[in-house]
Amino acid sequence: MDYMEYVKENRSKLKNYEWLKQFDEDTDGHRFTPMKFMGMKLKYGLDEPPDGIAGDRWMKQNAKTDITRKKVTLDDFRRGLSVDEYNDLINYAAWNSFDTLSLRVTEGLSEIIPRAQYEFTAFVRHFVRGPEFNKFVIHKVGWERYMRRFYDTRKEIGVKIEHLGHTWAIMCCQLFGDIALESLGYFEPDDPLIVDKKIWTVLPWAARSFALKGGDGYLMTSQNRYGITKDQSVVDFVMNKMEPVDAKRVKLFQQLDGAATLLGYCMHYDCRAGMGDYGPHIVEDGKILIIRGIYTNEPLFSWSEVAQRRNIPFSVNLAFIINPEKMGLQEYRVLDLGTSFTRPADFWPGVERVCMFLRYEPDTPEPLPLSKLRRLTWSEVPDVVNDINAATTEWYQEVAKMTHRQKVYNGYQVYSMDPSVGSCLRPFGLWDYCDEVLDFWEVPPVSSDSYYQVKGKVATEIMPQRLFTGAGWTDIPVKPSAKSKYRDDVLKRAYELGWESDLTGTKPIPSELKSLMDEDRIFRPDVKFNVPDNWMK
């Protein structure tokens, strides 16, 4: 849905709520941070755009091509993106990362989770192995099925494949790994093998994001005034289940939201892979519907036993309607990380109706009918909250016993599975093969090296500076170099240590894939983009 078009076409049906002004064509919106994005100045000598709607407009106006300004179509994928278009998407992703992460700088760090270290190690893994798994998935299922499954998840509630942040991360987190390795001097931006990894980072993300957003032409929520909608069948389903709430029930609803969110964060080692929002859906006279999925029990993680012992659901799903007038809402953003930010920050005074659902099944090859969700009643909420809190307490007790290295590896596993290509393996029926044959969890040698380097200034100072300011987001060159430091240094050393390939880790390359490997053991499948116009039907 194009938010600006929708509001313009339905203005006579909508109340004159202040927040709807964010969809006015000429608005700059509100500033949520005083910081500005330095990347375009550092790279090209241009100005420093702000966050929000004004920053989105600036980035579009100053792009070399119209790939971020226009609505992307299937024809753009069919013809193939140009180098300038790839670089415009990378630059926009750099600004979008600033726009997203600048709102989280005040969150602080968990004392029990070494997040900076596991993120750095996982980012490197993302860039080394992620593009190869992207190729493999598309090789196995084809572009059409790949996109169709993401499109269909718009009709589901409570699955990980729907998570905005997981899609955002298959580009941004993989490119974070590129920034990390360039910062450490492992290769130069014009390295031909690195150019291939960048292309196979951006292209699958673009197709996945295009499908997840309903084929409306937008690739990021910030391009569409910070919104993304579920299929109308989902909206109708939850609207028909809504119940009005008084102050007492709002408090109970908050307790459920808070308990589930904390367990979701713990289950995913203090990262946002554990919960995500969809919206703002504009309903009735301009009120807001938010659909929130919180993933409280991931069976692929060994530490999820604390949840399984208590029959905690795979996901706790909350839908709620906000009356913008009651809270004095000025702007509502659902960021590409799947997180809501509002002005003012506290939206709870505006919540007037809610409904709650539990989902026990992880992602499935075909969308799970909404009728399979279990509706949660008010009388059940206290017991569910108690069970969730007990699981969270036990999680803290178990993690406190772990070594520092184990906690880093567990966080690495989370990032390998969720904010990466891993989240789509289960719904495509590829998880067992990737786990058993392609050595999915294995740590690349260069990623292991980064575990030790992470304690130095590269991880704590240089890497965040290059990532956050935009200085480290390098362009794809028009003509890559003939030489490859990645091949001659990184891969050569890895192969000497017993690494088989970036796709298969330490496992032998399966016979059915050998013919698709080049002389450097880089996966080179023939995956032409041949998606028909009726791909959504």
Tell me the torsion sign for CA atoms 185, 186, 192, 194.
negative
Residue 455 confidence (pLDDT): 63
Residue 468 confidence (pLDDT): 80
| Residues in a beta bridge with 355 | 319
Helices (H) and strands (E) in the chain, counts: 21, 8
Residue 116 confidence (pLDDT): 79
Distance of alpha carbon 373 from alpha carbon 356, whole angstroms: 10
Distance of alpha carbon 340 from alpha carbon 347, whole angstroms: 10
Residue 453 confidence (pLDDT): 75
* Cβ atoms 162, 154 nearer than 8 A: yes
For residue 483, give every residue at least 6 positions away whose Cβ sits within 8 Å of its Cβ, in sequence order, or none: 191
**H, E, C per residue of 458-510:** HHHHHHHHHHHHCCCCCCCCCCCCCCCHHHHHHHHHHHHCCCCECCCECCCCC
Residue identified by tokens 């030790």 is 452
The C-alpha torsion from 447 through 94 and 82 to 25, rounded to 10°, is 150
Residue 512 confidence (pLDDT): 95
Residue 537 confidence (pLDDT): 78
Residue identified by tokens 């520092």 is 404
Please list the rounded mean pLDDT of every run of 10 residues in the chain (537 residues).
96 97 97 94 94 98 97 96 97 95 65 82 93 97 96 94 88 92 92 97 96 94 96 97 97 97 92 91 98 96 95 97 97 94 95 98 91 96 98 95 92 85 89 96 91 67 77 94 97 97 97 96 95 90
Q: For 14-38, how does the pLDDT look when each residue is reduced to its tens digit (9 = 90+)? A: 999 999 999 999 999 999 999 999 9
Residue 69 confidence (pLDDT): 95
The C-alpha torsion from 389 through 392 and 394 to 400, rounded to 10°, is -140
pTM (2 decimals)? 0.95
Residue 112 confidence (pLDDT): 83
**Burial of 54 (C-beta count, 10 Å sphere; 0-12/13-18/19+):** middle
